[in-house]
Amino acid sequence: MRDIPGTWRRVAAGAGLIGPDGSAAPTIFAEMSDLAARTGAVNLGQGFPDEDGPAEVLEAARAAIAKGVNQYPPGRGIPSLRTAISEHQQRFYSLTVDPDCDVVVTAGATEAIAASLLALIDGPDDEVVVFEPYYDSYAACVALAGARLVAVPLRWPDFQPDLDALRAAVTDRTRVILVNDPHNPTGAVFSSEVRAEVVRLAERHDAVIVEDEVYEHLVFDEPHVPLATVPGAWERTLSISSAGKTFSVTGWKIGWVSGPAALVDAVLAVKQFLTYANGAPFQPAVATGLALPDAFFASIAASLRHKRDVLGAGLQSAGFAVSHPQGSYFTVVDAAALGATDAADFCRTLPERAGVVAIPLTAFVTPAHKSEYATLVRFAACKRIEVIDEAARRLQSLR
């Protein structure tokens, strides 16, 4: 494999995944999931829920298959889903989105991110500014698009960016400011000052904002505020979300991008040659989900908040220093007090020591910055409460 020329090398290197022999290494997520399967450890590594989402959404997918909704849907997405996305943006954020021109349905948020970056990057001098640590596809997609990644650090324990560092990172070379809020892996929700500064800098340097909002309904204190709602932002912002997290259907891979028609058309121009179309019977089901009453959306946030609290208390009494996530599936801890000096090594031995799997934060940073996150570890709270209780009980053996 290492002798095969091609873009794979740049992508793997961008994601920090070139092994010592020059071949592409598997991600630490795969390694940790294998470890969980082999050892029978409680898997709080990868972020996927272990129970089904709303019955009416699942039933709508079954009904669609039974009714023969099994062929290619329109490349932009079926009209009823685009309308549901538009109504959702209006209902929760007072954003007016034209379902015919301002929306495209994608194969999960992952394709939306890839298609947006491939659409907007124009050459090797273009830069994409991200907050670090970042969702692992960002660095890989920036590399795939042939641009440069510019990272603004988020520091333990509140993981808000330093505004001077943000100002220094955004220049006339910045093509895209890629923001994930609520944030994976840290659980941070960015302050209104950060939002305002992102928009101000994007305007000043004529950059496009791409916001990944897949955890938009999983916030614990204040309602989510999209960057697209900040005055002046809409015309330069692509908003990305996905059904996976909101409806606990991560395997369906139905995502979407919304924004001004010209930017959305650019994304569609790329998406149509990545997958053309996706998930025909899941699209009407997601439309059903997006139309669920407000009480549903409030209940998923309340349930995850409770899980965050139970997990946080368990982690604290096991001896970790615990951050206070305001959203997303995740809680970050500092394992230094438990003797950790290398988070990856700590996570590799955790199944044996305590029967639990977690992910080192170093999986979400560029290799050169790993030392700054060397003792931080991410635990997923999106599991059944008895699973979190059991993990918390097992972790007490670390004391």
Ligand X SMILES: Cc1ncc(COP(=O)(O)O)c(C=O)c1O
Q: Which residues bind ligand X (CB under 6 A)?
A: 47, 108-110, 135, 180, 184, 212, 214, 242, 244, 250, 253, 255
- Give the residue with the Cβ less far from ligand X, 284 or 327: 327
Q: In this structure, what token pair is assigned to residue 175?
A: 């093509």
Q: How far is the CB of 319 from ligand X (least distance, A)?
A: 27
CA end-to-end span of the chain, whole Å?
44
Q: How far is the CB of 214 from ligand X (least distance, A)?
A: 5
E-strand ranges in 225-358 read 237-242, 254-258, 321-322, 330-334, 356-357
- Give the residue with the Cβ less far from ligand X, 331 or 340: 331
Q: How far is the CB of 272 from ligand X (least distance, A)?
A: 18
Decide if 330 contacts 361 (C-beta within 8 A): no
- Give the residue with the Cβ less far from ligand X, 255 or 312: 255
- Give the residue with the Cβ less far from ligand X, 112 or 264: 112
Length of the chain: 399
Angle at CA 166, nearest 5°, toward 16 and 361?
Answer: 35
Under DSSP, is residue 160 helix (H, G, I), strand (E, B) or coil? coil
CA 199/CA 207 separation, integer angstroms: 9
CA 310/CA 200 separation, integer angstroms: 39
Q: How far is the CB of 136 from ligand X (least distance, A)?
A: 9
Q: How far is the CB of 200 from ligand X (least distance, A)?
A: 24
Q: How far is the CB of 103 from ligand X (least distance, A)?
A: 15
- Give the residue with the Cβ less far from ligand X, 188 or 318: 188
Decide if 351 contacts 41 (C-beta within 8 A): yes
- Give the residue with the Cβ less far from ligand X, 282 or 346: 282
